[in-house]
């Protein structure tokens, strides 16, 4: 017996059913001296039966108590959104008993609803026990074993407490990546062996393992005799390095399932869990996961896709592009799956290239993780979940978990997830969003940029918006109202609601942190952590509005979402009107911000801000983001007026910002995007239409003489559905069909790259996959008219430059 407290950082949590049939929680953690600890705890799973208003709660509770398998019941007074309800908490030994009880309760009278039965046990345990992953906790209990597998200490918990909110420092991170042969169109785990595996970890750890001898190999290489030995060496390397966090890019659905398949083929173990257990994969089409016991496995591509992608310029989320954008390093070679075979069967030089390629992938993954891990830690702390979960969550899940975690503090019952039929119904309802002010197409000078800081979160907070305050009985229709399309809503004026309190807290905390960051040097140790926290707070606050309008949300509230956008429209309109009054000229506005010509009134900016801000309810605030030297707002194709959400700006520092225009859109050929980017830059920086025209003419000459790379003509598109679900065959669908015939695994999410070739008939009838196209194939006229000209004609039109002159005349320079 030892009841001394042991301090530790929880890394992950799981549960199993003990021999006695009870729930046995396992917490895997790291002690202060970096020893591995596993803590066992017990937990009684439960759900809540909400008692019908008319029913006799005492009678009902008695009946439930006598029901078979029920271990315990508790009657509680709770809030269910706005209703005061009696909730009977029903406990059972394990989830399967609980399910049986639920079935029996179907026949009981007096239960209006079952709640909190659809939350995973791990999450419930963490919420109810207030254990925050990665922050310092203490456990008292019986030390069962010293050492078992890789685990140094096993404790049966009697008491677990939070000690502080300090995060675990300097986790040991290991990134890995495998290479396989590829005999078909994609690697097949039944046929193609793993040939190489690279690692890149904390403290400059590097290793590449392979089973083919290579001369003049770098010192970080390890050579083995074959694939089975390679896999054993992978296991050894992981054990030896002993990572707390193991990361891959696509490792949930590629690397791990692949290795697991190969070990099954050889009937060999893959015992990399702390307790010697095998990885657990859940293969759900497109969104599988691989979980290890103890080691936290992150497939960082999931976090990139779910959370970071809206903030990335790159539309494609492959490691090469994401690496370049996030950490400035891309792949060492542009390799297709099948060209790995060629290098593998090539010269010693080729093999060295493959080694470098393999190691580079792990290096990029490691550096991406270094960059995003602080944000994940902060999110984990705020929503109280392990990194394993945080790394794989979408916006709606992050917001929902945040609300779920805090609901008990407000005595709120956690509503159940909507049924599919309910979701379908919700999806039918749409509502009006942000206001967009149509600009006059033109080139403008000296443009001020204004926007409301976190507009939607501020509105939620300022107007006390939320499902619990909507049209409350305590205030009634005589209170201040928000009008939306003839309908009127009000939000409680007496008591702050659960949602708005939480959002206000996020907004306030972020404001304070931003203030501290202003006085913190980037090199300070606290800078990165505070910056990550600020990002995490912003992410959660900004996603909350979208969550309220999300059909799958537990706390769905269409009226709230409508009220938020309606108020947003009102406040952006106020900016436009006030700017006019002070003699400024607003040229463009979108949802929460506006561009305003400062003209000769720059000195009045402060007055303008004060005028608006003095009318705003706390915590709303209009901010001035400085000015741009010049801006190009493009016109629409049809009719007069400017296009919304499409413009280019030139900052005083010479940086160019592009929004919405073709040059940053994925479904255009690189050649068209580059042309537009160049033309915009020449116009913005030099204001020379002739020089821009010269550039275009030159390019058209090159296209005519086929002096271009096929890659520059490639048009990429992502399939938004499975092939058979398309109602008509657009060019990208036609190209995807070709890919399918070639043996590619074509389904929703497949990225197809194609070229439009010469010939007659529909465009969809003359596409070729980029990989099959040659430079003599492409349709010169299509690329001139539909890609190059199309990307720039609106710019030339604006300056009354005749389009025909771009096409017909050869460049004066080359002509000469």
- Please report, as residue ranges, which positions from 718 to 747 form the binding site for DNA (by CB under 7 A): 720, 726-733
Kindly tell me which residue out of 110, 257, 288, 434 binds DNA, with binding defined by CB under 7 A.
434
Containing 768, the helix (H) or strand (E) segment is strand 767-769
237 or 391: whose CB is closer to DNA?
A: 391
Sign of CA dihedral 458, 462, 465, 466: positive
250 sits near DNA (criterion: CB under 7 A)? no
Q: DSSP characters for 502-515?
A: HHHHHHHHHHHHHH
Token code pair at residue 729 = 């065959």
796 sits near DNA (criterion: CB under 7 A)? no
325 or 350: whose CB is closer to DNA?
A: 325
- Please report, as residue ranges, which positions from 397 to 416 form the binding site for DNA (by CB under 7 A): 397
554 sits near DNA (criterion: CB under 7 A)? no
Candidates 366-374, 388-396, 476-484, 679-687; binding stretch for DNA (CB under 7 A)? 388-396
Which of 364, 366, 371, 368 has the alpha carbon at shortest distance from 329?
364
- The set of residues, in sequence order, having a beta carbon less than 8 Å from that of 565 and lying 6+ positions away, is 431, 432, 433, 434
CA angle in degrees (0–180, nearest 5) for 751-754-756? 155
Kindly tell me which residue out of 237, 468, 565, 811 binds DNA, with binding defined by CB under 7 A.
565
Kindly tell me which residue out of 202, 394, 574, 604 binds DNA, with binding defined by CB under 7 A.
394
Q: How large is the C-alpha radius of gyration of the chain? A: 30
239 or 748: whose CB is closer to DNA?
A: 748
Q: In Å, how far are 179, 333, 338, 711, 757 from 770, measured between CA atoms?
A: 24, 18, 16, 7, 10
Structure-token match 């729930």, residue found: 23
Shortest distance in whole angstroms from residue 131 CB to DNA: 24
Q: How far apart (Å, rounded) are the C-alpha atoms in residues 243 and 257? A: 20
Q: How far apart (Å, rounded) are the C-alpha atoms in residues 248 and 444? A: 47
82 sits near DNA (criterion: CB under 7 A)? no
466 sits near DNA (criterion: CB under 7 A)? no
552 sits near DNA (criterion: CB under 7 A)? yes
491 sits near DNA (criterion: CB under 7 A)? no
145 sits near DNA (criterion: CB under 7 A)? no
Token code pair at residue 281 = 């994969």
Shortest distance in whole angstroms from residue 776 CB to DNA: 21
Contact 693, 757 (CB under 8 A): no
636 sits near DNA (criterion: CB under 7 A)? yes
236 sits near DNA (criterion: CB under 7 A)? no
Kindly tell me which residue out of 162, 637, 687, 706 binds DNA, with binding defined by CB under 7 A.
637
Which of 325, 312, 297 has the alpha carbon at shortest distance from 390?
297
Q: In Å, how far are 79, 301, 746 from 404, measured between CA atoms?
A: 14, 26, 38
- The set of residues, in sequence order, having a beta carbon less than 8 Å from that of 83 and lying 6+ positions away, is none
551 or 656: whose CB is closer to DNA?
A: 551
Candidates 122-130, 478-486, 541-549, 676-684; binding stretch for DNA (CB under 7 A)? 541-549
88 or 541: whose CB is closer to DNA?
A: 541
Count of residues touching DNA (by CB under 7 A): 50
Q: In Å, how far are 108, 726, 756, 765 from 737, measured between CA atoms?
A: 55, 11, 15, 11
71 or 551: whose CB is closer to DNA?
A: 551
493 sits near DNA (criterion: CB under 7 A)? no
Q: How far apart (Å, rounded) are the C-alpha atoms in residues 646 and 631? A: 11
Kindly tell me which residue out of 143, 329, 475, 643 binds DNA, with binding defined by CB under 7 A.
643
- Please report, as residue ranges, which positions from 650 to 709 form the binding site for DNA (by CB under 7 A): 660
- Please report, as residue ranges, which positions from 274 to 303 form the binding site for DNA (by CB under 7 A): 287
638 sits near DNA (criterion: CB under 7 A)? yes
| 3-state secondary structure at position 529 | helix
Candidates 101-109, 177-185, 441-449, 638-646; binding stretch for DNA (CB under 7 A)? 638-646
* Residues in a beta bridge with 290: 281
Kindly tell me which residue out of 395, 463, 778, 783 binds DNA, with binding defined by CB under 7 A.
395
Q: How far apart (Å, rounded) are the C-alpha atoms in residues 662 and 103? A: 56
547 sits near DNA (criterion: CB under 7 A)? yes
Q: 141-151 burial by CB neighbour count: b if 16+ within 10 A, else e?
A: bebeeeeebbb
Helix axes 525-548, 498-518, angle to 10 degrees: 150
Kindly tell me which residue out of 221, 764, 797, 803 binds DNA, with binding defined by CB under 7 A.
764
645 sits near DNA (criterion: CB under 7 A)? yes
64 or 543: whose CB is closer to DNA?
A: 543
Kindly tell me which residue out of 81, 551, 582, 738 binds DNA, with binding defined by CB under 7 A.
551
816 sits near DNA (criterion: CB under 7 A)? no
436 sits near DNA (criterion: CB under 7 A)? yes
Kindly tell me which residue out of 338, 446, 542, 698 binds DNA, with binding defined by CB under 7 A.
542
The residue ranges that bind DNA (CB under 7 A) are 287, 306, 310, 394-397, 430-434, 436, 438, 542-543, 545-547, 549-552, 561, 565, 591, 636-638, 643-646, 660, 720, 726-733, 762-765, 786, 790, 794
């Amino acid at each position: 017996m030892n009841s001394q407290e042991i301090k530790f950082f929880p890394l992950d949590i799981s549960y199993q059913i003990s021999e006695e049939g009870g729930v046995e929680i396992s917490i895997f953690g790291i002690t202060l001296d970096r020893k591995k600890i596993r803590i066992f705890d017990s937990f009684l799973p439960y759900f809540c039966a909400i008692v019908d208003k008319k029913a006799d709660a005492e009678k009902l509770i008695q009946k439930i108590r006598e029901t078979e398998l029920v271990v315990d019941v508790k009657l509680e007074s709770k809030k269910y959104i706005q209703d005061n309800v009696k909730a009977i908490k029903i406990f059972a030994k394990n989830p399967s008993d609980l399910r049986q009880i639920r079935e029996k309760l179907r026949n009981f009278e007096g239960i209006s609803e079952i709640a909190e039965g659809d939350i995973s046990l791990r999450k419930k345990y963490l919420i109810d026990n207030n254990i925050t992953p990665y922050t310092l906790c203490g456990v008292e209990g019986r030390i069962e074993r010293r050492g078992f597998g890789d685990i140094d200490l096993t404790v049966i918990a009697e008491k677990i407490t939070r000690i502080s909110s300090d995060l675990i420092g300097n986790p040991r991170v290991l990134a890995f990546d495998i290479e396989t042969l590829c005999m078909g169109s994609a690697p097949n785990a039944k046929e193609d062996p793993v040939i190489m595996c690279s690692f890149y970890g904390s403290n400059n750890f590097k290793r590449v393992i392979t089973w083919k001898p290579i001369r003049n190999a770098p010192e970080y290489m390890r050579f083995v005799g074959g694939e089975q030995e390679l896999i054993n060496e992978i296991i050894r390397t992981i054990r030896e390095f002993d990572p707390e966090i193991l990361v891959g890019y696509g490792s949930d659905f590629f690397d791990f399932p692949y290795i697991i398949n190969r070990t099954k083929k050889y009937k060999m173990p893959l015992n990399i869990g702390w307790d010697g257990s095998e990885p657990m994969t859940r293969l759900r089409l497109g969104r599988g996961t691989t979980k290890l016991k103890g080691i936290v496995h992150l497939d960082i591509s999931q976090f990139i896709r779910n959370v970071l992608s809206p903030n990335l310029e790159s539309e494609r989320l492959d490691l090469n592009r994401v690496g370049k954008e996030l950490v400035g390093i891309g792949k060492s070679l542009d390799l297709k799956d099948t060209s790995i075979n060629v290098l593998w069967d090539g010269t010693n030089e080729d093999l060295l290239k493959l080694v470098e390629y393999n190691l580079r992938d792990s290096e990029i993954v490691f550096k991406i993780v270094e960059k995003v891990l602080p944000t994940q830690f902060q999110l984990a702390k705020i929503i109280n979940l392990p990194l394993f979960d945080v790394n794989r969550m979408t916006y709606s899940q992050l917001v929902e978990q945040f609300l779920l975690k805090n609901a008990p503090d407000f005595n709120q019952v956690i509503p159940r997830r909507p049924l599919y039929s309910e979701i379908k119904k919700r999806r039918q309802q749409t509502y009006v969003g942000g206001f967009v002010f149509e600009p006059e197409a033109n080139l403008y000078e000296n443009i001020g940029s204004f926007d409301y800081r976190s507009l939607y979160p501020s509105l939620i907070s300022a107007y006390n918006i939320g499902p619990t305050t909507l049209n409350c009985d305590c205030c009634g229709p005589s209170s201040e109202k928000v009008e939306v399309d003839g309908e009127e809503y009000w939000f409680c004026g007496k008591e702050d609601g659960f949602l708005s309190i939480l959002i206000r807290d996020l907004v306030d905390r972020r404001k304070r942190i931003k203030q501290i960051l202003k006085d913190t040097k980037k090199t300070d140790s606290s800078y990165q952590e505070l910056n990550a926290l600020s990002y995490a707070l912003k992410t959660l606050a900004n996603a909350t509005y979208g969550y309220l309008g999300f059909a799958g949300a537990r706390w769905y509230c269409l009226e709230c979402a409508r009220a938020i956008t309606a108020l947003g429209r009102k406040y952006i309109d106020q900016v436009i009107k006030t700017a006019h009054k002070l003699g400024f000229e607003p040229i463009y506005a979108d949802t929460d911000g506006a561009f305003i010509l400062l003209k000769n009134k720059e000195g009045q900016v402060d007055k303008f801000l004060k005028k608006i801000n003095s009318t705003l309810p706390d915590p709303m605030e209009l901010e001035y983001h400085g000015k741009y030297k010049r801006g190009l707002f493009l016109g629409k194709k049809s009719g007069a007026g400017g296009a919304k959400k499409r413009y280019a700006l030139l900052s005083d520092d010479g940086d160019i910002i592009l929004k919405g225009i073709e040059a940053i859109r994925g479904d255009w050929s690189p050649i068209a995007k580059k042309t537009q980017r160049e033309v915009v830059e020449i116009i913005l920086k030099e204001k020379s239409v002739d020089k821009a025209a010269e550039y275009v003419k030159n390019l058209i000459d090159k296209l005519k003489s086929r002096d271009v790379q096929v890659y520059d003509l490639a048009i990429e598109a992502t399939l938004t559905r499975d092939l058979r679900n398309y109602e008509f065959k657009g060019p990208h669908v036609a190209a995807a069909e070709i890919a399918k015939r070639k043996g590619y695994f074509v389904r929703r999410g497949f990225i197809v790259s194609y070229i439009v070739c010469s010939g007659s008939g529909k465009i969809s009838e003359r596409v070729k996959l980029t990989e099959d196209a040659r430079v003599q194939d492409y349709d010169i006229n299509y690329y001139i008219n539909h890609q190059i000209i199309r990307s720039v004609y609106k710019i030339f039109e604006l300056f009354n430059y005749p389009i025909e002159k771009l096409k017909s005349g050869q460049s004066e320079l080359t002509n000469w």
